[in-house]
Chain A
Amino acid sequence: MDVQFSQESINEINRIIAQYPKERKKSALLPVLHVVQKETNGWLSVDTMDKVADILAIKPIEVYEVVTFYTMYFTKPVGKYVIEVCQTGPCMICGSDKIVSYLESKLGIKVGETTSDNIFTLRTVECLGACGYAPMLQIGEQYYENLTEERIDQIIHELGSTYSDKY
């Protein structure tokens, strides 16, 4: 199946490619995958990855091996918002476990799952560099820090209420 990207993404991809020497197009792979994943509902299908390989003039395997190495790329569908809770030492001693269980019970899903309406995916991740503002989570490009249960209620409501009354 032929994948098409928006003109906006194509412009962004070209801007990124221009940052590297002409014969080093492959270097644009990681930033280009970020741009593309954003456009393709937050995950990368094989067709999408093949298209990226085509654009950068590299073999598809060179894209697959990178996508499966880095944690920020998804190869399966995810919810509209991916909630990533940091669980490493400094966050753990400030109560990240409780944040995870609160989110699990609030959303009715376990870590690694997506709500049935495909709005939220819940994940745990390793250190995001916000240890002084623990516990914390990331959704998209935004950090939410110094979390409390009330703050989580707010965040879920802000993001989810446009899609469903249950948030």
Chain B
Amino acid sequence: MGVQLLLEHLNKPEINTIDGYIKQGGYRTLDKVLGKMTPDEVTEEVKTAGLRGRGGAGFPTGMKWSFLDKSTDKPRYLLCNADESEPGTFKDRLLMEKIPHLLIEGMIVSSYALGCRTSYIYIRGEYMFILRILEKAIKEAYAKGFLGENIKGSGYSLDLYVHPGAGAYICGEETALIESLEGKRGNPRIKPPFPAVSGLWGCPTIVNNVESIAAVVPILNMGGSEYAKIGIGRSTGTKLISASGNINKPGVYEIELGLPVEEFIYSDEYCGGIKGGLDIKACVPGGSSVPILPKSLLFKESNGNPRLMSYESLSEGGFETGSMLGSGGFIVYDEKQCIVKNTWTFARFYHHESCGQCSPCREGTIWLDKVLYNIEHGLGKESDIDLLWDIQHGIEGNTICPLGDAAAWPVAAAIRHFRHEFEYHVKYPHRVKDDDHVYQPEMNYTTA
């Protein structure tokens, strides 16, 4: 295992309790930061660390913090985005379930940096069992005087609450999250104004992913410049990767950014290779929204260099030959998997999750779902493949929030790299009518 900053103490006894967490050096940053460093100094450390948002977009966290409008008297809010819903992603869940105090510690020092007196963790409603874990941990933190009035005599006060959603992927989009926290439907807002100026209840607000906030703790412990030495180039630090699909060892792994993709898939330390000794067909490296990569593009960049687990390397070549690191939802497909069927389940997902506010997304996701259903179930026509291409093109870039793009990209990439599978489905409908079809030896699946 490489360097472990977030999961280092994962298997230590009682790490889920405050005493077990303190025993491993937890809550040290409170002494180091509160009343000792200025809020701006904390922000500077996060900037120096080069931490990029771990929720998917990869926007520099410190820079996001510096956009917070400090010119008004209004209260400021830090909202933790724990609405983890991107298919293939289950890393924040592990962090909150097993080491809840790491997130709470991160929330305290981050709220201090932003000057917040009240902060919220917005967690997806299906994670209600984790909400209970977090509320218990927060109670422990209050009892120790790490939350509430005058934390550890520093003069700084903070209240922290957990707010559940109720089953809506869209609430992971920051303005939809804010709407939802205000007790409304999760319809994303038109930007500007950005939340940093006008967010929760019209006040300056910062929304950060669970993993980003947790990473602030090791950054402050080791110093931003030390953190920046880990990783590669502008992809600094470590990243939690949720590995799923047809691999021997699915689960959450903390990797140092820059690890070769091939090593991540085949090393026994990580995924442990493909289940049943099969060949790999494709991989979605960053959650369902990012383009799928066929085996031929997965291990090497276009210049022949090995492809690495980093923001830059995974997106090398743009969407023609690359993808994105995204949320780190790493889904692996063996040679027997049907790309059309997989693409259809993703399209169905986005159809289900579109908030319905923008026509291109509301109507387009329905069409993508229906046309892909037809192709998958042996009811497709050859013209449907070009139709799919037109529909996704009509959605991309034409919506208020990125859900439209997220629905379009997986369809575009599947057609770009696996058009032959779509053609096969429309050419031999009788062979794909059976629900169990996964692989037809007549077609060459492995060379894309």
Chain B 159-171, CB-CB to A under 8 Å as 1, else 0, gives 0010111111100
**Docked pose: A100 CA to B329 CA in angstroms:** 24
- When each residue 326-351 of chain B gets 1 if its CB lies under 8 Å from chain A and 0 otherwise, what string results? 00010101000100011001101100
Which interface class (under 10, 10 to 19, 20 to 34, 35 or more) fits A? 35 or more
Name B329's closest neighbour in chain A (CB-CB). Answer: A131
CB contact under 8 A between A72 and B167, given known A19-B161, A92-B345: yes
Interface residue? A77 (CB, 8 A): no
> Smallest CB–CB gap between A106 and chain B, Å?
18
Separation in Å of the A41 CB from the closest CB of chain B?
17
Q: Name the one of A27, A94, A126, A129 contacting B89, with C-beta atoms under 8 angstroms.
A: A129
Are B182 and A88 in contact, with the CB atoms below 8 A?
A: no
Interface string of B54-81 (1 = CB under 8 A from A): 0000000000000000000000000000
Query: Which B residue sits closest to A21, measured CB to CB?
Result: B201
Selected from B89, B165, B345, the residue in CB contact (under 8 A) with A30 is B165
Q: B185 at the A/B interface (Cβ < 8 Å)?
A: yes
| Cα–Cα distance between A6 and B369 once the two chains are bound (Å) | 44
B435 and A131 within 8 A (CB) = no
Of A62, A70, A127, A129, which one neighbours B165 at CB under 8 angstroms?
Answer: A70
> In the complex, which of the residues B168, B183, B345 has the most CB atoms of chain A within 10 Å of its own CB atom?
B183
Q: A68's closest neighbor in chain B, by CB?
A: B185
Q: Say yes or no: B183 contacts A26, CB within 8 Å.
A: yes
List chain A residues, Cβ under 8 A from B175.
none
Indicate if the CB atoms of A132 and B243 lie closer than 8 Å. yes
Determine the distance from Cα of A66 to Cα of B201 in the docked complex, in whole angstroms.
Answer: 18
Among the stretches B143-151, B245-253, B359-367, the one at the interface with A is B245-253
CB atoms of B125 and A70 under 8 A apart: yes
For B31, the chain A residues whose CB sits under 8 A away are none
A72–B93 alpha-carbon span in the complex (Å) = 19
* CB-CB under 8 A for A89 and B125, given A30-B165, A31-B164, A134-B244: no
Inter-chain CA distance A69–B176, complex, in Å, is: 12
Chain A residue, CB-CB nearest to B129: A141
Cα of A72 to Cα of B168 in the assembled complex, Å? 9
Given contacts A27-B183, A65-B185, A132-B251, contact A70 B87 (CB under 8 A): no
Interface range on chain B: under 10, 10 to 19, 20 to 34, or 35 or more?
35 or more
B445 at the interface (CB under 8 A from A): no
CA A66 to CA B181, docked complex, whole Å: 12
A138 within 8 A of B: yes
Q: What secondary structure prevails in chain B residues at the interface with A?
A: mixed
In the bound assembly, the distance between CA atoms of A75 and B118 in angstroms comes to: 34
Q: How many angstroms from the CA of A88 to the CA of B245 in the assembled complex?
A: 12
Chain A contacts for B186, CB-based, 8 A: 69-70
Question: Which residues of B have CB within 8 Å of A134?
Answer: 244, 250
Q: Is B353 interfacial (CB 8 A cutoff)?
A: yes
* Nearest B-chain residue to A70, judged by Cβ: B166
Question: Is residue B389 contacting chain A, with contact meaning CB distance below 8 A?
Answer: no
Chain B residues near A29 (CB, 8 Å)? 183
Q: Are A97 and B166 touching (Cβ within 8 A)?
A: no
> Smallest Cβ distance from A133 to chain B, in angstroms?
7
Name the B residues within 8 Å of A56 (CB-CB).
Answer: 183
Q: Give A31 to B87 CA distance when docked, in angstroms.
A: 24
Do the beta carbons of A143 and B129 come within 8 Å of each other?
yes
Give the residue name and chain of the A residue nearest to B275 (CB). Answer: A94
Judge whether B184 is part of the interface by a CB distance below 8 angstroms. yes
**With A28-B183, A138-B126 known to touch, is A132 a contact of B166 (CB < 8 Å)?**
no
Task: Decide if B86 is an interface residue (CB 8 Å cutoff).
Answer: yes
Cross-interface CB contact of A127 among B86, B181, B250, cutoff 8 Å: B86
Contacts of A123-146 to chain B: CB distance below 8 A: 125-134, 138, 141-143
Measured between alpha carbons, how far is A111 from B245 in the docked complex, in Å? 24
Specify which of B128, B166, B182, B183 is in contact with A71 (CB 8 Å cutoff). B166
**A34-B166, A93-B342 given as contacts; is B90 within 8 A of A129 (CB)?**
yes
The answer to the question of B98 belonging to the interface, with a C-beta cut-off of 8 Å to chain A, is no
- Chain A residues, Cβ within 8 Å of B89: 129, 131
Q: Pick the 10 closest A-B CB pairs, nearest first.
A: A29-B183, A70-B166, A71-B167, A131-B244, A132-B250, A72-B167, A26-B183, A69-B185, A127-B87, A72-B166
16 pairs, A vs B, C-beta closer than 8 Å: A26-B183, A30-B163, A66-B185, A70-B165, A71-B168, A89-B349, A92-B341, A93-B333, A126-B352, A127-B86, A127-B88, A129-B84, A129-B89, A129-B126, A129-B127, A142-B129
Binding site for B on A (CB under 8 A): 19, 21, 24, 26-31, 33-34, 56, 58, 62, 65-66, 69-73, 87-90, 92-94, 97, 125-134, 138, 141-143
Q: A34-B128, A69-B185, A88-B349 are in contact. List 20 more A-B contacts (CB 8 A).
A: A27-B181, A27-B182, A29-B183, A30-B125, A30-B163, A34-B166, A66-B183, A66-B184, A70-B165, A70-B186, A72-B126, A88-B345, A89-B349, A90-B87, A90-B244, A90-B245, A127-B86, A131-B88, A132-B244, A133-B90
